[in-house]
Amino acid sequence: MKATVTAHKDYAISRIDDRVYGAFLEHLGRAIYTGIYEPDHPTADKNGMRGDVAKLVKDLNVPMVRYPGGNFVSAYNWEDGIGPREERPVRLDLAWHTSESNAVGIHEFADWCDTVGTQMMLAVNLGSRGLDAARNFVEYVNHPGGSYWSDQRIKNGRKDPWDVKLWCLGNEMDGPWQVGHKSADEYGHLANETAKALRAFDKSLELIVCGSSNAKMPSYPQWEATVLDHTYDAIDYISLHMYFANREKNTPNYLALSVELENYINSVAGVIQFIKAKKRSKKDVYISFDEWNVWYHSNQQDRKILEGNDGWPHAPALLEDVYNFEDVLQVGLILNAFIRRADVVKIACIAQLVNVIAPIMTDPKGAAWRQTIYYPYYFASIYGRGTALNLVVNSPTYDADNVKGVPFADVTGVHNEDEGTLTFFAVNRNGKEALDLEIALEGFGDATIIDHQVMTHANLEAVNTAKNPDEVVPAKGTGASIKSGKLSVSLPPHSYQMIRAK
């Protein structure tokens, strides 16, 4: 089988916003406690943060991390997480039926972000609370001093404001499971008033309204239209979420889901344009895809806790998906979709970062290791920065149950003008045959291959564990070449690869 691609230096989609490689950490399960924070761990720093985890996060060069939720934020009092630790209240977390010790709050999280070299993207509670708590939180975080909340921050040990730009106005407010769930009109009105108040504090904030929790919600896409109708002039991004699952063990259908993801992005981009035209607005609103990942492996085992049959445990194992090799392909495909839609998707967050549906896993008191999906996320975050190229791809296709004409070869190209590099990310969705890929390079001069990484495995269900953390890892590719301006490479059946040229 053969696929051909043309990459021309001047055919660009858009500059990729670095923040498309963001991540998400929620007070959920062991993401925070025994994830990033474990004071008794042998690698813990003076703040109680695990050094082994911080190193794995740092290596990913994550541009920003969304915090503190998720569903958790919709019943969270941010003030519970400030002040002396021993005085902080233990609360019942209604979203995940657990207890929250509040040992980690905004100060500890901000310090951790400094340690791992990332920025904060914060969410305010528009479920059980509203505008007033939101504006106080923003004042606490961003005001230099001389006001009630900024002086409280200084009293609590942080002199300089953190100056956080990105603020999520609630989370998944379309979902009946959300504490304080609202209709699109109710939410749209509240989000608009909150946005206006936050803008009165600081015009330069970047504000994100909730779109649908997924494209199967009954209110989608009317939700987007109604919410944007209320908020268009006051906000900058609309958030989308999507989780991927292969419950039927049907790999061709599973690997076609990223086409549905692109349709979802297209539709919401269309709704944005519709409201822009309706309002005769000159302003653009973009997409913040602030929750995406594979999520299904752990569903069954989580039932007991989520149904409340285990009481209110503190930091139990929840949503601990163990990812397999097949998920490497899926994550590679999702990231390719974001690169292709770099014109409208400006922010995205892998959900989540540690332990909870995450590329990094830990054992309490024990090891931290990279799950299989760590690698495609790593390659995209490190090498997928620059300009997304508008490739012409000709690939044989297959029909999945819900999507016709799915290309076997899924390829994106990123031109980093500063470094003079060209990076291709390629997934072969075909499990039976290799694909000979030929990429015509136009306008790039005499490029040569500088790196080639391949991920493939005989067993789609192979996983990495604490005992065997290197079962699914990238290997140096062989056989890629550039001759007379044509890059040739073979994509083995069911493989992910990154090919770089300069």
* Alpha carbons 178 and 181: distance in angstroms, whole number: 5
Spatial distance between the Cα atoms of 137 and 233, rounded to a whole number of angstroms = 23
Query: Which positions from 71 through 130 interact with ligand AHR, judged by CB under 6 A?
Result: 71
| DSSP letters for 20-79 | GGEEE--SSTTSTBTTTB-TTSTTB-TTSBBHHHHHHHHHTT--EEEES-SGGGGG--GG
Residue 87 DSSP symbol: G
CB of 481 to ligand AHR, least distance (A): 42
> Do residues 210 and 170 make contact, with C-beta atoms less than 8 angstroms apart?
yes
- What are the residue numbers of the active site? 172, 291
69 binds ligand AHR (CB under 6 A): yes
* Paired tokens of 20: 């498309």
Q: Does residue 321 belong to the site contacting ligand AHR (CB under 6 A)? A: no
Least distance between ligand AHR and beta carbon 381 (Å): 19
Output helix, strand, coil percentages for the chain, rounded to the nearest 5: 30, 25, 45
DSSP string, 179-242: TT---HHHHHHHHHHHHHHHHHH-TT-EEEEE--SSTTSTTTTHHHHHHHHHHTTT-SEEEEEE
Size of the site for ligand AHR (CB under 6 A): 10
State which of residues 52, 93, 291, 327 lies at the interface with ligand AHR (CB under 6 A).
291
Return the range that interacts with ligand AHR (CB under 6 A); candidates 66-74, 276-284, 453-461, 481-489: 66-74
Identify which range of 67-75, 278-286, 392-400, 443-451 contacts ligand AHR by CB under 6 A.
67-75
Q: How far apart are CA 202 and CA 179, in angstroms?
A: 28
Question: For residues 498 and 109, what is the distance between their CA atoms, to the nearest angstrom?
Answer: 33
Residue 173 or 437 with smaller CB distance to ligand AHR: 173
Q: How far is CA 369 from the centre of its chain?
A: 19
Binder of ligand AHR out of 3, 234, 272, 351 (CB under 6 A): 351
According to CB under 6 A, which one of 172, 174, 326, 410 is a site residue for ligand AHR?
Answer: 172
What count of residues does the chain have? Answer: 502
Helix (H, G, I), strand (E, B) or coil at 131: helix
Contact call for residue 211 and ligand AHR (CB under 6 A):
no
User: What is the nearest approach in angstroms of ligand AHR to the Cβ of residue 445?
Assistant: 44
Residue nearer to ligand AHR on the CB measure, 175 or 493: 175
Subset of 364-423 contacting ligand AHR (CB under 6 A):
none
Judged by CB under 6 A, the chain residues 9 through 48 that form the site for ligand AHR are 26
The answer to the question of residue 352 lying near ligand AHR (CB under 6 A) is: yes
Binding ligand AHR (rule: CB under 6 A), the pick from 171, 362, 412, 456 is 171
> By Cβ distance, which residue is nearest to ligand AHR?
70
Name the site residues for ligand AHR (rule: CB under 6 A).
26, 69-71, 171-172, 213, 291, 351-352
